[in-house]
């Protein structure tokens, strides 16, 4: 099943809930619009479009989802590591030693994104263990 199909089926289910459509009337509508098929997973893309158009005609209003939050960049992760080090009163050498011990990499700046996240999680764990704010 393609992503577009999944998204359309999800929209149809949301429309069904928004319109407070009973299951039997929903399936009757599918059968009327889609050559007797009573399951949205059995419909073609064109039939899914037709069902969505009918639901919009019946009053379905599509709401826009939340805008995705941008992922932390490497720079923001390094800034968070720096903040954790400052709160703990530890030097940068501590973070470099963590990078070397955890990932066999000499400097924190050479770590990739996932490795930086690992160091950050370790610092947060250490802060909680020692009663410092996170």
- For the chain, which residues make up each domain, given as ranges? 3-57, 74-129
* Cβ 119 vs Cβ 99: under 8 Å: yes
**Banded model confidence at residue 111, pLDDT cuts 50, 70, 90:** very high
Q: What is the mean pLDDT of residues 48-63?
A: 94
d(CA 123, CA 51): 52
pTM, rounded to two decimals: 0.50
**The pLDDT of residue 72:** 79
Residue 1 has pLDDT above 80, yes or no: no
Helix, strand, coil percentages for the chain (3-state, nearest 5): 65, 0, 35
């Amino acid at each position: 099943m393609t992503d577009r199909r999944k998204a359309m089926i999800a929209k149809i289910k949301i429309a069904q809930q928004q319109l407070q459509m009973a299951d039997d009337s929903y399936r009757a509508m599918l059968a009327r619009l889609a050559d007797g098929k009573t399951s949205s997973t059995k419909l073609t893309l064109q039939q899914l479009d037709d069902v969505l158009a009918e639901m919009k005609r019946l009053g379905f209003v599509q709401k826009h989802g939340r805008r995705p939050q941008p992922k932390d960049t490497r720079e923001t992760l390094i800034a968070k590591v720096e903040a954790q080090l400052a709160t703990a009163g530890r030097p940068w050498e501590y973070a470099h030693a963590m990078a070397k011990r955890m990932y066999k990499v000499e400097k924190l700046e050479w770590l990739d994104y996932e490795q930086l996240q690992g160091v950050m999680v370790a610092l947060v764990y250490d802060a909680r263990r020692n009663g410092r704010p996170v």
